[in-house]
Amino acid sequence: MVPGRQPPPHRSSTGNHYGECLGKASAAAMSMRPIEIIGFASGLGARNPGCAAGPDSMAQSSLVPSLQQQACDIAWRTTLRPAAATSPLAGIQALCTSLAQEVGATINDGKLPLVIGGDHSCAIGTWSGAAQRFREQGPLGLIWIDAHMDSHTPETTPSGSIHGMPLAALLGYGAPELVNIGSFSPKILPAHLCLIGIRSFESGEADLLRRLGVRIFFMDEIKQRGIAAVMAEALAIAQHGTVGFGISIDLDAFNPKESPGVGTPVRHGLHHLALDKALAGIMHHPRLVALELAEYNPRRDRNQLSLKLTANLLSAFCRRVKN
- Give the per-residue pLDDT at 47: 80
- Give the per-residue pLDDT at 229: 97
- Give the per-residue pLDDT at 183: 87
Closest CA to 248 of 141, 176, 156: 141
Across the chain, which distance is largest between two alpha carbons, in Å? 52
Q: Cα 237 to the chain's mean position, in Å?
A: 16
Note down pLDDT in tens along the chain; length 323 residues: 333 333 333 333 333 333 333 333 333 334 468 999 999 999 999 987 899 999 999 999 999 999 999 999 999 999 999 988 779 999 999 999 999 999 999 999 999 999 999 999 999 999 999 999 999 999 999 999 999 999 999 999 999 999 999 999 999 999 999 999 998 999 999 999 999 999 999 999 999 999 999 999 999 999 999 999 999 999 999 999 999 999 999 999 999 999 999 999 999 999 999 999 999 999 999 999 999 999 999 999 999 999 999 999 999 999 876 54
- Active centre residues (catalytic): 120, 146, 148, 150, 163, 250, 252, 295
Closest CA to 270 of 144, 104, 83: 144
Q: What is the DSSP string of 39-59?
A: EE---TTSSSGGGGGHHHHHH
User: What is d(CA 136, CA 116) in angstroms, rounded to the nearest whole number?
Assistant: 27
Phi (first) and psi of residue 294, to 5 degrees: -130, 165
- With beta carbons less than 8 A apart as the criterion, state whether 167 and 144 touch: yes
Q: Which CATH superfamily is domain 22-318 in?
A: Ureohydrolase domain (3.40.800.10)
For the question of whether the overall pTM of this predicted structure is more than 0.95, the answer is: no
Residue 124 CB-half CA count within 13 A: 38
- Give the per-residue pLDDT at 26: 35
- Give the per-residue pLDDT at 284: 93
